[in-house]
């Protein structure tokens, strides 16, 4: 920390079921930490006490991300209970710092890339949602590109009623910079950024046509009257 303190990070839990070299290896990622929650945030029940209401389970972290993690654990457990062989090798990576930036996870992966992660063929991200009631597996997510903009202004705070209109406003400069980054239709205008994105394959385009997604229902759910696009 900036003040010199050192904090111990939660452990990353790993597990492995099967090590057959003739099978693919699937690694399931999940996390058990949650965002803060209080009753006065709008919760109808105690957010830290799992509550069943008409067959629906309510609690902080129930969907993000405890239930998906448990679903995978129970899937492996079901095979074991039936004395059935898993069709693939399964590995778990479950962390406790996702909500604060996954501190330490990158270092752990790099440290074990030639051991625990060396035979991983596929990553399943359990920390995702479905677009409809139809079950779905997430095989990829959007990445992040970070950019920094720096502007300079007066060396002290100035009262707008006295100095407004005579000095160059740093906020105005920032607005101008941000206005060059994206078009009104949502296209990112930063040179070279599209070349850094893997193109969709013909198979993916075909698969996306069958995705169940209701645009109107989506707009109603998030409370907007218009989206960037009119179709899925």
Whole-angstrom distance, CA of residue 133 vs CA of residue 72: 18
Q: Please name the residue ranges forming H helices in the chain.
A: 67-81, 105-111, 160-163, 170-179, 202-208, 215-222
Distance between CA 206 and CA 36 in Å, rounded?
Answer: 40
Instruction: Please indicate, yes or no, whether residues 137 and 41 belong to a single structural domain of this protein.
Output: yes
Of 120, 141, 162, the position where a domain reaches its end is: 141
Residues 134, 32 within the same domain: yes
pLDDT of residue 33: 95
Q: What pTM was computed for the model? A: 0.74
Measured CA to CA, the distance from residue 128 to residue 143 in angstroms comes to 14
The answer to whether 98 is a known catalytic residue is yes
Predicted local distance difference test score (pLDDT) of residue 40: 92
**Which structural domain range is residue 67 located in?**
9-141
Residues 14 and 54 in one domain: yes
Mean pLDDT, rounded, for 94-111: 94
Peptide bond preceding 157 in cis form (omega within 30 of 0): no
Catalytic pick among 40, 46, 85, 98: 98
Does 22 share its domain with 94? yes
- Can you tell me the distance from the alpha carbon of 163 to that of 166, in angstroms, rounded to the nearest whole number? 6
The phi and psi torsions of 95 (rounded to 5 degrees) equal -110, 175
Q: Is 176 exposed, middle or buried (0-12, 13-18, 19+ CB in 10 A)?
A: exposed
Catalytic residue among 3, 20, 33, 99: 33
Tokens of 18: 């099967």
208 domain-assigned: no
Does residue 85 sit in the same domain as residue 151?
no
Position 1 pLDDT exceeds 80: no
Task: Identify the pLDDT of residue 146.
Answer: 83
Please count the structural domains in the chain.
Answer: 2
Please check whether residue 52 lies inside any domain of the structure.
yes
Statement to judge: residues 166 and 71 lie in one domain: no
pLDDT score of 181 = 93
Split at pLDDT 50, 70, 90, the class of 69 is very high
- Band (pLDDT 50/70/90 cuts) for residue 109 is very high
- Rg of the chain over Cα atoms, rounded to whole angstroms, equals 24
With 80 as the cut, is the pLDDT of residue 231 above it? Answer: yes
195 is an active site residue:
no
Annotate 73-94 with DSSP letters as a single string. Answer: HHHHHHHHHTTPPPSSEEEEEE
| pLDDT single digits (tens) 17-68 | 999 999 999 999 999 999 999 999 999 999 999 999 999 999 999 999 999 9
Tens digits of residue pLDDT in 119-174: 999 998 888 888 888 888 777 778 788 888 899 999 999 999 999 999 999 999 99
């Amino acid at each position: 920390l900036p003040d010199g303190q050192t904090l111990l990070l939660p452990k990353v839990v790993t597990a492995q079921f099967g090590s057959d070299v003739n099978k693919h290896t699937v690694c399931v990622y999940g996390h058990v930490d949650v965002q803060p929650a209080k009753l006065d945030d709008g919760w109808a029940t105690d957010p830290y006490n799992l509550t069943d209401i008409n067959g629906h389970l309510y609690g902080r972290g129930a969907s993000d991300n405890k239930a998906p993690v448990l679903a995978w654990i129970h899937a492996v457990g079901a095979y074991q209970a039936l004395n059935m062989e898993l069709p693939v090798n399964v590995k778990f990576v479950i962390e406790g710092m996702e909500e604060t930036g996954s501190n330490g996870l990158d270092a752990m992966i790099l440290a074990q890339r030639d051991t625990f992660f060396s035979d991983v063929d596929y990553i399943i991200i359990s920390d995702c949602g479905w677009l409809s009631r139809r079950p779905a597996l997430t095989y990829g997510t959007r990445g992040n590109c970070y950019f920094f903009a720096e502007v300079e202004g007066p060396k002290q705070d100035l009262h707008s009623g006295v100095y407004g209109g005579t000095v160059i406003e740093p906020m105005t400069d920032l607005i101008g910079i941000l206005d060059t980054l994206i078009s009104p239709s949502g296209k990112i205008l930063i040179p070279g950024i599209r070349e850094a994105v893997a193109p969709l394959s013909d198979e993916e385009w075909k698969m996306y046509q069958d995705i169940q997604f209701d645009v109107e229902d989506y707009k109603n759910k998030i409370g907007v009257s218009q989206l960037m696009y009119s179709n899925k």
